[in-house]
Amino acid sequence: MNLGVFTLLWALISGASSQDYYEYDQYFPLSMYGRSPICAPECNCPGNYPSAMYCDELKLKSVPMVPPGIKYLYLRHNQIDHINEKAFENVTADLQWLILDHNLLENSKIKGKIFSKLKQLKKLHINYNNLTESVGPLPKTLVDLQLTNNKITKLGSLEGLVNLTFIHLQHNQLKDDGISAAFKGLKSLEYLDLSFNQMTKLPSSLPTSLLTLYLDNNKINNIPDEYFKGFKGLQYLRLSHNDLADSGIPGNAFNVSSLLELDLSYNKLKSIPTVNENLENYYLEVNKLEKFDVKSFCKILGPLSYSKIKHLRLDGNNISQTDLPPDMYECLRVANEITLN
């Protein structure tokens, strides 16, 4: 009888747990049981997670051999500066996560359509590299794309990526003309982070499916009229550390009923922008606010008409406790934290 078959039968007869099987796997090739590939010799494929291959911090300069069956590939903190067209040819139907953070990759050294060939790919992380534009083409299965802390100045079209839900592009060099309509048609997109770039205006044609939008630490100075009106489910919006002043914000720009958190801190505002009564967290610290207008939070006051604000930050402005009107407490009746100077 084949030794591998005998071992498996003995485990079944003795009532061994799955943990016992993995102990056997340390001595016999996992591929004998059809559960795991052979691991690349320089990498680590844990016995309790055999479809993952960890190749972190090995000073690799190229992608190692990736055997069939690997679903999760980690190549972080290496010196990889290129990817050959056949690098993933063994896992085109297997690989789901590809993590390439902290390497030396440049666009010109990523050959062919290597990513679009990965028919099961869901996560692609290439953070902390030397990219100057987004990578592509990408497979339609992709859910999570992270390209943070690169030198990206231009985004290619992502249209057709019907499953793409999360995009991280913070800490790059994106300007207005480098974005264009890159996000058009991404009907599943819920999370978009464009913070720490060089944008002076809001990007056009953003998907209305967004729940979270981070645009902090840019140079944005204007909000187009009714820009956020089409976002029926937007909940979290950050615009802190920009160049927003009263003149650049239309009266009801942030009156979005779905919005739960709004961060406008570190701008140049002199008055509090009007928000919807459903807002719960409002950050306005370090602006130039001079007065507190209850109508910014409550259009009318009554037993059922009040703001749902829980946290309000007003510190770093020209507003003190004595500047707060008496009816503020009726409007903000559920607030448990109001921070002043």
Comparing 164 with 157, the larger pLDDT belongs to 164
The domain limits of the chain are: 49-143, 256-340
Determine the Cα–Cα distance for residues 39 and 66; give it in Å rounded to an integer.
Answer: 8
Determine the Cα–Cα distance for residues 262 and 245; give it in Å rounded to an integer.
Answer: 16
pLDDT digits (tens, 9 = 90+) for 216-274: 999 999 999 999 998 989 999 999 999 999 999 999 999 999 999 999 999 999 999 99
Determine the Cα–Cα distance for residues 268 and 67; give it in Å rounded to an integer.
Answer: 56
DSSP, collapsed to helix, strand or coil, labels residue 133 as strand
Angle at 243 between CA 181 and CA 241, to 5 degrees: 90
Fold for the domain defined by 49-143: 3.80.10
Comparing 338 with 112, the larger pLDDT belongs to 338
Residue 116 pLDDT greater than 80, yes or no: yes
Tokens describing residue 201: 């205006």
Mean pLDDT of 176-194: 93
Mean pLDDT of 98-119: 96
Contacts of 332 (CB under 8 A, 6+ apart): 297, 306, 307, 309, 312, 338
The pTM of this model reads: 0.88
DSSP code for 235: -
Closest by CA position to 210, among listed 164, 157, 161: 164
Residue 314 pLDDT greater than 90, yes or no: yes
Classify strands 212-214 and 281-283 as parallel, antiparallel or unpaired.
unpaired
Residue 313 pLDDT greater than 80, yes or no: yes
Determine the Cα–Cα distance for residues 251 and 299; give it in Å rounded to an integer.
Answer: 13
pLDDT at residue 220, rounded to an integer: 98
Mean pLDDT of 15-37: 37
pLDDT at residue 15, rounded to an integer: 41
Q: How confident is the model at residue 303 (pLDDT cuts 50, 70, 90)?
A: confident
pLDDT at residue 205, rounded to an integer: 87
Percent of the chain with pLDDT over 70: 89
Mean pLDDT of 12-26: 36
Residue appearing with tokens 């009263």: 246
62 in Cβ contact with 80 (< 8 Å): yes
Instruction: Return the amino acid letter for 260.
Output: L
Closest by CA position to 97, among listed 52, 60, 140: 52
pLDDT at residue 301, rounded to an integer: 85
pLDDT at residue 38, rounded to an integer: 86
pLDDT digits (tens, 9 = 90+) for 41-96: 999 999 999 999 999 999 999 999 999 999 999 999 999 999 999 999 999 999 99
pLDDT at residue 5, rounded to an integer: 39
Residue 29 pLDDT greater than 70, yes or no: no
Determine the Cα–Cα distance for residues 276 and 312; give it in Å rounded to an integer.
Answer: 14
Tell me the pLDDT of the chain averaged across its residues. 90
Q: How many residues does the chain have?
A: 341
Q: How confident is the model at residue 37 (pLDDT cuts 50, 70, 90)?
A: low
